Amino acid sequence: MASIAAKGGMSYSNNFVVAFQGVPVPMPNETVPGETVAFMCDEAQLPNINTATGSINGLYTGLGSVDYPHTKVFTELQLGFMLDADLSILKYLNSWYNSIFAESDGNEDRVTRVRYKHQYAAKILVTKTEIGPTSSTQRRPITYVMEQAYPYAIDAIPLQFGSSQVTKVTAQFKYQRHYTIDRDTTVVKDSKVPAGGVLVGEAEIGPGVFQQEWLKPDGTIVTVQGNKRATGTQPYSKPQPETTSTPQPVPLQVIPFEE
């Protein structure tokens, strides 16, 4: 039985990044866009794939009904967030939800009008990440992009006396459809180049497999192998010896002496 080698190690479920794009309301007290969502999301899932099918009878004699696919089915998305003392994510989700409806405040008999979808829908990106040479989320093998997403339900948040726990909020999102962005992360580890190193040698040791030698500032040589060439500083050019031509002997001409 042939053994199967895991490409790039094993995947772990506690390494992922969630991002929102195009949300009509800003995150309160956020200096870097999207940073709060990325770090506070502690529960997500990669969407499933489902298909609606129909059946046809009499396609072949004696076969009975045969199923055929006709529609893609996209289920809702659930995201869970940890809350800081200012409840930033909860306020953010409430503002996003309220942006769906246009209401006049202060009147008991106020009228609720629903806005157009392009005014409140946004993109949600769920990226499965893995540890890389330079960061814990450097390798990103797949990203699910949910189009035209919006929160349609925000779950109740339980509060109770007792042991202290981090307050969390869970929101349910609808979206129109999703697609994936696939990346090859098996070569990320091979692209790590020593800081300040200079490429002093490179050789193809196999079909598409390269071996490089990098000279570090401390004088040591680091060897890197992989199926992707590492890039960094300009390669070191080894001085070529000067080519000198060997002087050819001039034939001696004897001129007879005439009196």
What would the two tokens of residue 39 be? 């770090």
| pLDDT of amino acid 47 | 92
| pLDDT of amino acid 238 | 42
Q: pLDDT at residue 69 above 90? A: yes
| pLDDT of amino acid 132 | 76
| pLDDT of amino acid 253 | 54
The DSSP letter of residue 246 is: P
- Section 73-92 average pLDDT: 94
16-182 is classed in which CATH architecture? Roll (2.30)
Q: How far apart, in Å, do the first and last CA atoms of the chain sit?
A: 102
**Structural contact between residues 152 and 175, judged by C-beta atoms closer than 8 angstroms:** no
pTM check: above 0.75: no
Instruction: Write the pLDDT tens digit of every residue in 6-30.
Output: 676 788 888 999 999 999 998 887 7
- Section 133-159 average pLDDT: 90
Distances (CA, A) of 69 to 55, 61, 73, 133: 9, 21, 11, 43
| pLDDT of amino acid 242 | 47
**Structural contact between residues 156 and 172, judged by C-beta atoms closer than 8 angstroms:** no
Q: pLDDT at residue 195 above 50? A: yes
Q: Output the average pLDDT for the chain.
A: 80
- Residue spans per domain, the chain: 16-182, 189-226
| pLDDT of amino acid 185 | 80
| pLDDT of amino acid 5 | 56
Q: pLDDT at residue 99 above 90? A: yes
Out of 35-49, 178-192, 194-208, 215-229, pick the least confident.
215-229
